[in-house]
Amino acid sequence: MGPILDCDANATYAPDQQIQGVILSCLEALGNPSSMHRAGQRSRAAIEEARATVRKVVGAGEHDTVVFTSGATEANNMVVQALAKQGGSLLASQIEHPCVLGPLAQCERKGGKVVLVAPDRDGVVSVDVVRAAITSDTSLVSIMLANNEVGTINPITEIVAAVKAVAPQAIIHADAAQALGKIPCSMADLGVDALTVSAHKVGGLSGVGALILRRGIELPALILGGPQEGKLRGGTENVLGIRVFGEVLSLLVREGDARRERMARVRDLFESSILGELSEVYIHGFDRARLPNTSSVYIAGVRADDLVVAMDLEGILISSGAACSSGKPEPSHVLLAMGYDEDHVRATIRVSFRADSDESDVKRLVASLVKAVSRMRAVSQAA
Ligand code: PLP
């Protein structure tokens, strides 16, 4: 097999060489951070350094709380489940990740009030639909900063202003798992009270994330146990994962805009090539503000799942819009919420580039896609 062209960087991917070096050096010192001996204290210091880096990267203040979790799933659960217990009405969008929608559905089953607003046809949650849904008893508004399937960016700053005008008491949370490292994610600029991030979406290890809470926002722990993480998350910290997360974020800071610009160039080259080479192709949210690395592409006359397999055989990892649970692929709830029918959804692939993807990756991807699509279309026409 040729070189792995991992074009699905929105999922976990092998850390690049620089990060592999970081992992090896971190392995040398993995004491329990709750221990008083020097190995423990070294780990404690490393965790606090990573915490400071997270604060810096997300534009949080010195006194804002950073809780390290097992990932964005846990961080989102922590916010939604806490607010569900407090009562009031919970507002989110239909295109949130299942780790927001799941606890909301549970809340509703238990008699809680949940309002889910629809995105527009491009996958953007407009300030108008949020404004129309806020009531004076809204206690939580949770809208993702960028969508994981389409890459569209939501107008969070405007949404915050609209919420504050009607429900100043509401906690405003943004899931920034996909946005981190790809667009600026400053809590200060966005005006949110709580932000979720995940390490493996930026090249760190899976199983680590963080919930950042503005000073004064107090939520109960979701995972009960020891007094770790300021009593907000029981259990010995994932020292390796947290250290690697901190190092990856420091690299992001050093790379600055160059990383985003590089990803956007690669993504734009992919989109112009695929639009030029194939007929009946549609890119969702094309003209809207989007993440620089993500393309959600409808290709008429194909099944996305078949294309994913065909690309995998070429060493190229892409994904379909379908989330696969227990072997039963369900059509993407995001594209359905955007108003597309099941046939359209099942013919949509997602390509998301890594920070180190380059032009040669795009050329190989496009050549492979064109070949596979032409073959599939010819077969379906002959049938
Ligand atoms: N939120 C969004 C927007 C995501 O894309 C994902 C990952 O797919 C998650 C949350 C869950 O992240 P984690 O794997 O860190 O639990």
User: Could you read off the pLDDT of 216-243 as tens digits, one per residue?
Assistant: 999 999 999 999 999 999 999 999 999 9
256-286 pLDDT per residue, tens: 899 999 999 999 999 999 999 999 999 999 9
Is there a single domain that holds both residue 171 and residue 146? yes
Residues 242 and 261 in one domain: no
The reported pLDDT for the residue numbered 17 is 78
Q: Inform me whether the pLDDT recorded for 325 exceeds 80.
A: no
Residues 32, 173 within the same domain: yes
SS3 content of the chain, % helix, strand, coil (to 5): 45, 15, 40
- pLDDT value of position 1: 41
**Residue 371 and residue 345 share a domain:** yes
Regarding whether 283 and 203 lie in a shared domain, the answer is no
Host domain of residue 222:
17-251
Q: What is the pLDDT of residue 222?
A: 97
Mean pLDDT to the nearest integer, 180-192: 96
pLDDT, average across residues 133-146: 98
Q: 321 alpha carbon to ligand 1 midpoint, in Å? A: 15
Residue 106, Cβ density class (10 Å: 0-12 exposed, 13-18 middle, ≥19 buried) = middle
Annotated catalytic residue within 26, 107, 185, 324:
324
Final residue of a structural domain among 251, 266, 281: 251
Mean of pLDDT values over 144-171:
97
Percentage, residues of the chain above pLDDT 70: 95
The most confident of the ranges 30-39, 244-253, 363-372 is: 363-372
Distance from Cα 113 to the centre of ligand 1, integer Å: 24
pLDDT at 327: 54
Shared-domain flag, residues 183 and 226: yes
Q: Which residues contact 180 (CB under 8 A, 6 or more apart)?
A: 57, 58, 197, 198, 201, 202
Contact 177 CB / ligand 1 (< 6 Å): yes
Burial class (CB in 10 A: 0-12, 13-18, 19+), 102: middle
CATH code of the domain containing 282? 3.90.1150.10
Task: Using the 3D structure, point to which of 217, 251, 285 is the last residue of a domain.
Answer: 251
Q: Stretch 209-220: mean pLDDT, rounded?
A: 97
Same domain, 10 and 111: no
Q: What is the residue-averaged pLDDT of the chain?
A: 92
Residue 75: predicted pLDDT: 98
Cα separation values, 162 from 45, 87, 304, 350, Å: 40, 21, 38, 32
**What is the 179 CA–ligand 1 centroid distance (Å)?**
11
Q: Are residues 269 and 230 in the same domain?
A: no
Closest CA to 103 of 155, 142, 147: 142
Mean pLDDT of 75-81: 98
Q: What residue owns the CA closest to ligand 1's atom 9?
A: 72
Average pLDDT over residues 150-172: 98
Is residue 324 part of the annotated active site? The answer reads yes
Residues 220 and 268 in one domain: no
Dump pLDDT digits (tens) for 99-108: 999 999 999 9
- With a 6 Å cutoff on the Cβ, whether 148 touches ligand 1 is yes
Residue 4 has pLDDT above 60, yes or no: no
DSSP code for 201: G
Rounded to whole angstroms, the Cα distance separating 17 from 354 reads 14
Cβ of 73 below 6 Å from ligand 1: yes
**Mean pLDDT of all residues in 145-166:** 97
Query: What's the CATH number where 153 sits?
Result: 3.40.640.10
Residue 209 beta carbon below 6 angstroms from any ligand 1 atom: yes
Instruction: Give 68 Cα–ligand 1 centroid separation in angstroms.
Output: 15
pLDDT at 2 over 80: no
Confidence of residue 326 (pLDDT cuts 50, 70, 90): very low
Give the full edge-to-edge strand order of the sheet including 348-352: 281-283, 294-299, 348-352, 319-320
Same domain, 207 and 269: no
Statement to judge: residues 185 and 297 lie in one domain: no
CA 337/CA 296 separation, integer angstroms? 15
Domain shared by 47 and 196, yes or no? yes
Instruction: Quote the number of domains for the chain.
Output: 2
Specify the ligand 1 atom closest to the Cα of 146. Answer: 3
pLDDT at 311 over 60: yes
| Nearest atom, ligand 1, residue 144 CA | 3
Residue 196's alpha-carbon distances to 7, 27, 140, 260, in angstroms, are: 24, 26, 14, 20
Q: What is the pLDDT of residues 29-56, one digit of tens each?
A: 677 888 888 888 888 999 999 999 999 9
- Of the listed ranges 6-10, 139-143, 313-317, 325-329, the one predicted with least confidence: 325-329
| Nearest by Cα to 173 from 154, 160, 164, 182 | 160
Q: Which atom of ligand 1 is nearest to the CA of 74?
A: 16
φ and ψ at 13, to 5 degrees? -140, 165
Question: Which one of 251, 271, 302 terminates a domain?
Answer: 251
